[in-house]
Homo-oligomer: A and B are copies of this chain.
């Protein structure tokens, strides 16, 4: 009987988690500004107009930032292709893990975790914040920081191409944010980057 209850709890937990995951549409791999115009337009923006990001745009953004664009390899390099970097997404209703293999958002926890991101004047009006997380079981923090910079630049360029605003932020509340994202002791947050709509 105890086993049956335990199994039922597991089953309910599994399906309720599944129900809250969000399958992303495939990224759009065409279009955008010509590359050199994208570079010319690249800059930091901290003032956003609150709007939800459409799933198609979110899909292309996350794929650009750290998706797979060819056989088992990502849009951003990591040293010796260790792929130690993962992205988490903080939306108004919860924190999600970007599963780049399945190209979906997996719910980590429901709730408003924006406070842990710090700088509410920047964070609160963003459509979302991307949190870059290194798995130190896979590679060193030094390599992870280089991978982080690559993802950050890709987000900057995506924003420039799409007319969105973004800024790389180092001043987050690490312990609080790590707890919200349920990180383990070998996972380190390297950077936070909000993306938002401009006036």
Contacts and interface: CB of A to CB of B under 8 A. Distances in A.
Nearest to A39: B64
A8 interface: no
Contacts of A32: 34-38
A146 to B, nearest CB: 4
A45 B32 CA distance: 24
Interface stretch (A93-101, A117-125, A151-159): A151-159
Contact of A36 (B28, B37, B170): B28
Which of A35, A44, A145 neighbours the largest number of chain B CB atoms within 10 Å of its CB? Answer: A35
A31 interface: yes
Interface in A174-193: 190-191
Contact of A70 (B43, B146, B154, B158): B43
Contact-size category for A: 35 or more
Nearest to A65: B39
A194 interface: no
24 contacts: A28-B36, A29-B37, A30-B40, A32-B34, A32-B36, A34-B34, A35-B35, A35-B38, A35-B157, A35-B158, A36-B64, A38-B38, A39-B64, A39-B75, A43-B69, A76-B153, A77-B153, A142-B145, A145-B149, A146-B148, A149-B153, A150-B152, A154-B157, A157-B157
Interface of A: 27-40, 42-44, 60, 63-64, 69-70, 73, 75-77, 79, 142-143, 145-154, 156-158, 161, 168, 170, 190-191
